[in-house]
Structure 1
Amino acid sequence: MTSFPARWDDVSDHQVHWYDERTAIIRQALHTNFEGPFLYLLLGSERALLLDTGTGHVPLRPLIDSLLSGQELIVAHTHAHLDHVGGDEEFDHVVGRTPEEVAAYFGITSWPDGVVQFDLGGRVLDIVPIPGHHASHIAVYDAETRLLFSGDSLYPGRLYVFDWDAFRASVSRLAAFVAAGNPVEWVLGAHIELTTRPGEDYEMGADVHPDEHELQLAPAVLTELASVLGPEPARIVRDHFIVYPV
Structure 2
Amino acid sequence: MSFPDHWDDGTDPASPDHQVHWYDERTVIIRQALRTNFEGPFLYLLLGTERALLLDTGTGHVQLRPLVESLLSGQELIVAHTHAHGDHVGGDAEFDSVVGRSPEEVAAYFGITDWPNDVVQLDLGDRVLDIIPIPGHHASHVAVYDRATRLLISGDSLYPGRLYVFDWPAFRASVRRLADFVAAGNPVEWIAGAHIELTDRPGEDYEMGADRHPGEHELPLDPAVLTELADVLEEAGPEPVRVVRDHFIVYPV
**Deviations 1:183-237 (Å, cap 9, x if unpaired)?**
0000000000000000000000000000000100000000000000122210000
Aligned positions, number: 245
Q: TM-score, normalised by structure 1?
A: 0.99
Mapping of residues 101-112 of structure 1, within 5 Å: 101-112=105-116
Q: CA deviation at 1:112?
A: 0.3
Q: Report the counterpart of residue 243 of structure 1 in structure 2.
A: 250
Q: Report the counterpart of residue 202 of structure 1 in structure 2.
A: 206
Letter in 1 for 2:3: F
Distance (whole Å) between structure 2 residues aligned to residue 44 and residue 180 of structure 1: 25
Distance (whole Å) between structure 1 residues aligned to residue 81 and residue 104 of structure 2: 14
Distance (whole Å) between structure 2 residues aligned to residue 19 and residue 58 of structure 1: 23
Residue 100 of structure 2 aligns to a residue whose secondary structure is: coil
Q: CA deviation at 1:34?
A: 0.1
Residue 36 of structure 1 aligns to a residue whose secondary structure is: coil
Q: Report the counterpart of residue 78 of structure 1 in structure 2.
A: 82
Q: Report the counterpart of residue 92 of structure 1 in structure 2.
A: 96
Distance (whole Å) between structure 2 residues aligned to residue 103 and residue 69 of structure 1: 28
- Computed over aligned residues only, the root mean square deviation of the Cα atoms, in angstroms, reads 0.4
Distance (whole Å) between structure 1 residues aligned to residue 56 and residue 247 of structure 2: 23
Distance (whole Å) between structure 1 residues aligned to residue 128 and residue 201 of structure 2: 37
Letter in 2 for 1:18: W
Q: Report the counterpart of residue 185 of structure 2 in structure 1.
A: 181
Mapping of residues 19-58 of structure 1, within 5 Å: 19-58=23-62
Q: Report the counterpart of residue 4 of structure 2 in structure 1.
A: 5
- Report whether the alignment pairs 1:113 with 2:117: yes
Letter in 2 for 1:132: G
Distance (whole Å) between structure 2 residues aligned to residue 36 and residue 144 of structure 1: 26
Q: Report the counterpart of residue 67 of structure 1 in structure 2.
A: 71
Letter in 1 for 2:28: A
**Deviations 1:6-63 (Å, cap 9, x if unpaired)?**
1112411000000000000000000000000000000000000000000000000000
**Deviations 1:140-199 (Å, cap 9, x if unpaired)?**
000110000000000000000000000000000000000001000000000000000000
Q: Report the counterpart of residue 156 of structure 1 in structure 2.
A: 160
Q: Report the counterpart of residue 228 of structure 2 in structure 1.
A: 224
* Alignment gaps of 5+ in structure 2: none
Letter in 2 for 1:6: D
Q: CA deviation at 1:77?
A: 0.1
Q: Give 4+ residue runs of structure 1 displaced > 3 Å after superposition.
A: none
**Deviations 1:93-123 (Å, cap 9, x if unpaired)?**
1000000000000000000000000000000
Q: Report the counterpart of residue 240 of structure 2 in structure 1.
A: 233
Distance (whole Å) between structure 2 residues aligned to residue 213 and residue 92 of structure 1: 35
Residue 75 of structure 1 aligns to a residue whose secondary structure is: strand
Further displaced range: 108-117 or 228-237: 228-237
Q: CA deviation at 1:244?
A: 0.1
Residue 169 of structure 1 aligns to a residue whose secondary structure is: helix
Distance (whole Å) between structure 2 residues aligned to residue 209 and residue 145 of structure 1: 28
Further displaced range: 226-235 or 72-81: 226-235
Query: Equivalent pairs: percent with the same residue?
Result: 83
Letter in 2 for 1:3: S
Distance (whole Å) between structure 1 residues aligned to residue 232 and residue 190 of structure 2: 20
- Report whether the alignment pairs 1:122 with 2:130: no
